Amino acid sequence: MISEYGVQAVRVDLVLDENLYVLSNLAGVRLFQEIDLAFAPAEVAVARSDELVGQIDSMLDVASRMGEMIYLGLGYWNDTSDDRTCTTLSDLSNAAHRRPVSVRTYYITPFIEDDRCAHTVDFVLLDSKDQGDPTKLIERWRSTHDTPVGIAALGAPVRPRAGTGYLVRGSVEAQARLIESTLTELLEDDGLVAVFIDRWAESKERGALANEIDGDFAIVSPEGSPRPAAAVVRGFYTGRQRIFAFPAGNPASMDYSWMNLIAFVTAALFGFMFYSSLGIQSVLRRYFFSHSFYLEKVGDGRETTIGISLFLLACLSIAASIVGAALITHLRLTNLWFALTAWLPGPLSLALRVGARYQGLLVLTFAGLFALVALLWAVALSWLTPAAKKLRPAQTLLLVVMPRWPVAIIGLLVLVVLNWQIDEPIVFIATGTGVWLSVVIVYTGRMFSDYLRLLGITALLTIPVLFLALTLLAAAGWLFVTTRNLLPELIFLWNLATRT
C-alpha cells in the first residue's frame, strides 16, 4: 500500500530478515536502517561502540546477499557536538564501508551550527518535527556544512476531539496543510537527499492517552483509514497533484490559559479577604512595619493565626505553582524536553508529559508540593524548639509562610512576561530558575533569622547555617550525580541547551 503513494524509502530498525528485503525490492521501497543508538551522551556512544559494530555486522551479513544499496543510520539525536561521538561514528561508518557492499551512512541530529561529526558520514538528516521551519533548518545547515542533508521527520500532530478545518490546531486538515505547504518548498530543492514524513501509522501498542498527550503524527488513522495528509503525500510523491483544498474551519477565539484564570481568582480572593479580615491586615502590618512586634506576637502564641497562615500559604502556593508551570511549559518547547522524556522510565515520562499538556493539573501539582514543603518546615521547626520555649506548629507555620511573600511578586512577574512573545524559551527557563533559587535562599534565610530571634539566639548565626546547608546540598547533589554516573547526561543536556 505504501508504494501506491509514491513512497520510495522508509526509516526502520536494522533488518535481519531476508524476506523483508525481498518485499521492499518488489515494492520499490528502499530501507533506511538505523542502529539502536538514540539520545546518547558522548561517553555512552563510546562505551557502546563495539556492541554497535556487532549489530552492523549482523545486518550486513544478511543485507549483502541481496546486492542492493544499503542506507545505514548511525544514531538518532546523539551528541554530535562532542568530538568523542564523532570518533565513534567514524568507527561505525568505517566498519560498514569495509564490507564488500554498497553502503551510505547517515545520522539524525538536532545540532546544526555546532555539529562536528558531519565528515564521518555520507549525509545527515535533520528532524524538523517541533524544530521550526524545515527550509530554515536546511539553510542553516548549508551555511556551515558541505555534507549533503535531508529531512528525517516532517509532520504535525492530530489531536483527538479537534475540530474541522486547517485553521483549527490539531485537526487532520491542519496536518495536511502543513505537509502540503512544506513539501511545496522542499521538493523544489534538488539537493536534498530525502524528505521523510512522520509517519505512516502509529504503533498499535501506543495507547489513546499517548495520542492525547503527544499527538498522533500518522497520516493514517488508528482505524486504518487515510487522513487528508495521506492524499497530500500521494499527490506530491507520485507527481499527480500539488494543490489541495481543505475547509478552513473556525479557530478558537482565544487561547484559554488555566494559569491566568487561577491567578485572577486567587488575586480577587486575596483582595476580598484582605479588605474584610482585620486579622490578615494586622499580621501583614506587623510583619512589614513592626517586625519585632510581629515576632513577639508569634512567640506568645495567644492569637490564633492558623487560619490566616493557611490562607496566605494557599495564595503563595498558587503563585509558586504559576512559576513552576510556566517553566515546565517552556521546557516542553526546548530540545531538553525530548532527551528528558526519552531517558525517564515510562510511567514517569508519561506523568511529566501529562502535566505539561494540562496546565490546570500542573498548577495544582506545584501548589501542592509548595504547600507540603512549607508544612513540613513548620513541623520540623516546632519539633526542634527547646522545651523551655516550645513553639506549636501553628506558630511556626506563620514563621515559615510570611518570609515567602516574594513568591507572589515572582508569580506576578511571570504572568506579565508570559504575555510577551518568548523567542528563546531556554533563556526564560534559565532566568526563571536562577531568580527562583535566589528567592528560595532569601526567604529560607529570613525564616531561620526569625526563628533564631524567637529562641533568643543572634540572627547573625543565619549566615553560617545557610552556608553550611547550601554546601551540604551541593555535596549531596554532586555525590548523587557521580554515584549514579549522571555527569555524561548533564553534559549532553548542557550541549542541547546551548548548542541547538
Torsional sign, CA 47, 53, 56, 62:
negative
CA dihedral 456, 462, 468, 470 (to 10 degrees): 140
Q: Does domain 2-238 have CATH number 3.40.50.20?
A: no
Q: What is the pLDDT of residue 456?
A: 79
Given a cut of 80, whether residue 61 has pLDDT beyond it is yes
Q: What is the pLDDT of residue 303?
A: 66
231: which residues sit within 8 A by CB, 6+ positions away? 176, 241, 244
Given a cut of 60, whether residue 255 has pLDDT beyond it is no
Q: What is the pLDDT of residue 252?
A: 61
Given a cut of 90, whether residue 85 has pLDDT beyond it is yes
142 prior amide bond cis, ω within 30: no
**What mean pLDDT is predicted for residues 236-257?**
73
Q: What is the pLDDT of residue 205?
A: 64
**What mean pLDDT is predicted for residues 237-245?**
82
161: which residues sit within 8 A by CB, 6+ positions away? none
Cα gap 213→104, rounded to integer Å: 36
339: which residues sit within 8 A by CB, 6+ positions away? 39, 77, 489, 492, 493, 496
Q: What letters, b where the CB count within 10 A reaches 16 and e where it falls short, cover 217-227? A: bbbbeeeeebb
- The one-character DSSP state at 200 is S
29-33, 208-212, 462-466: segment of lowest average pLDDT: 208-212
Domain ranges of the chain: 2-238, 258-499
Given a cut of 70, whether residue 202 has pLDDT beyond it is yes
Given a cut of 80, whether residue 271 has pLDDT beyond it is yes
Identify the band that residue 254 occupies on the pLDDT scale cut at 50, 70 and 90. very low
Cα gap 300→462, rounded to integer Å: 22
Q: What is the pLDDT of residue 298?
A: 81
Cα gap 101→98, rounded to integer Å: 8
Cα gap 32→303, rounded to integer Å: 74
Look at phi and psi of residue 485 and say left if phi exceeds 0, alpha if psi is from -120 to 50, else beta: left
The C-alpha cell of 55 is what? 549489530
- The one-character DSSP state at 161 is T
Given a cut of 60, whether residue 190 has pLDDT beyond it is yes
Between the CA of residue 33 and those of 10, 87, 258, what are the distances in Å?
8, 21, 43
Identify the band that residue 214 occupies on the pLDDT scale cut at 50, 70 and 90. confident
Identify the band that residue 492 occupies on the pLDDT scale cut at 50, 70 and 90. very high
The C-alpha cell of 440 is what? 528560595
Reported pTM: 0.84
Q: What is the pLDDT of residue 262?
A: 78
Cα gap 270→322, rounded to integer Å: 16
Cα gap 350→422, rounded to integer Å: 26
Share of the chain above pLDDT 70, in %: 94
Q: Which residues pair with 220 in a beta bridge?
A: 226
- Radius of gyration, CA atoms only, the chain: 29
Mean pLDDT, the chain, integer: 85
| DSSP H stretches of helix in 187-344 | 208-214, 228-238, 258-276, 278-289, 291-300, 306-331, 335-343
Q: What is the pLDDT of residue 480?
A: 78
Q: Are 49 and 80 in contact (CB under 8 A)?
A: no
Given a cut of 80, whether residue 411 has pLDDT beyond it is yes
What is the per-residue pLDDT across 412-427, written as a single tens digit (0 to 9) for each? 898 888 877 777 889 9
The C-alpha cell of 233 is what? 503525500
Q: Which is nearest to 33 in space by CA: 95, 108, 84, 100?
A: 108
Q: What is the pLDDT of residue 368?
A: 93
Given a cut of 50, whether residue 445 has pLDDT beyond it is yes
Q: Are 446 and 403 in contact (CB under 8 A)?
A: yes
Q: Which is nearest to 425 in space by CA: 368, 367, 497, 360?
A: 497
95-104, 220-229, 330-339, 465-474: segment of lowest average pLDDT: 465-474
Torsional sign, CA 450, 452, 455, 460:
negative
- The one-character DSSP state at 254 is S
Torsional sign, CA 215, 135, 493, 38:
positive
Q: Are 27 and 477 in contact (CB under 8 A)?
A: no
Cα gap 105→97, rounded to integer Å: 9
Higher per-residue pLDDT: 295 or 261: 295
The C-alpha cell of 420 is what? 510577551
Question: Which span out of 62-66, 264-268, 489-493 was modeled with the highest average pLDDT?
Answer: 489-493
Cα gap 67→101, rounded to integer Å: 7
Q: What is the pLDDT of residue 304?
A: 63
Q: Give the chain's largest Cα–Cα span.
A: 90
What is the per-residue pLDDT across 125-161, written as a single tens digit (0 to 9) for each? 998 877 778 899 999 999 999 999 999 988 888 887 7
Q: What is the pLDDT of residue 351?
A: 80
**What mean pLDDT is predicted for residues 158-171?**
81
Task: DSSP for 231-251, please give it.
Answer: HHHHHHHHTS-----------
Cα gap 284→291, rounded to integer Å: 10
SS3 71: strand
**Burial of residue 174, with CB atoms counted within 10 A of its CB: 0-12 exposed, 13-18 middle, 19 or more buried:** buried
| DSSP H stretches of helix in 112-226 | 134-144, 172-186, 208-214
